[in-house]
Structure 1
């Protein structure tokens, strides 16, 4: 990871992580080292930002549980392990234990850009039930288009998650991307290049 991220970016990533922890409202990641809570669901996937010929800009994606104000899953590329072999992609595979209910991708942004995610015409919402183990997609963004997508890469990512978290090896993992995935979602920094936002 050090080859991809400068010391300045590491400091800012640590600051952002500390701010999140101090706020007390972010859900902690599940490492699979203790038995899962049968009253909860396990959700998993990947997050990554591409930055050809640049430094990472610090992708942040928030997922909120509907009807539970003040709670959020905050996915960040800075300040976390780097599972991506490409020198121009920073990101990791993640896993969380969450209460059953409905969850919504509410916003995303880059730490090093002022833009914020644009309002979605249709909310990106998915539901989970107690005892389920769910792949919710690969979140991908780049700082050329300023667009975030959630795509189905289950064939590769689920196998990578099983290698990272051995407790997943014998679990039935359901691909939820038909409901949790979404097409490119622009930030306010996006430009259309005459072809429409996120459609270069």
Structure 2
């Protein structure tokens, strides 16, 4: 029969049409290219440099702030006198012996300088007139600017404390002097006088 002879040709044509149909786009269908597909992926959120996660999944410890190195304090260029220093200072009466803080030093004519001896022993006297004590462990006070070291010495008081002397005279500070260079104790009761750097009375 004639249709049987043409059968292989018919099958081949049908197969070819089916193949073309598979590769032809359907009307209305949007063909997406690989480039368009890759661009549709949502971008990753920006990474905060302070919250980077390590490969193990744990966030690294927050870096601690580093304190600046301690700057050593700037020392004053003015030399500090030690506690037992006696130096020369300026007052309204002229040069006078002063302590490490610049306070005027006094002598009492009731004391003696040869040998050195103090008669200011009562609580009332010591409240107004403070003996200049030599710190423990120092055999002799230090002479500051304007004072001859050979004229400085110490005497042992009845209570065992050592009082500084200048020219043999026991040295005192007056409680009424509140600032360096003051001489409010000069001439009190006719017995108290400012002492000069050479160990003599100012007046």
TM-score exceeds 0.5: no
Structure with max Cα Rg: 2
State TM-score, norm by structure 2.
0.21
More strand per residue: 1
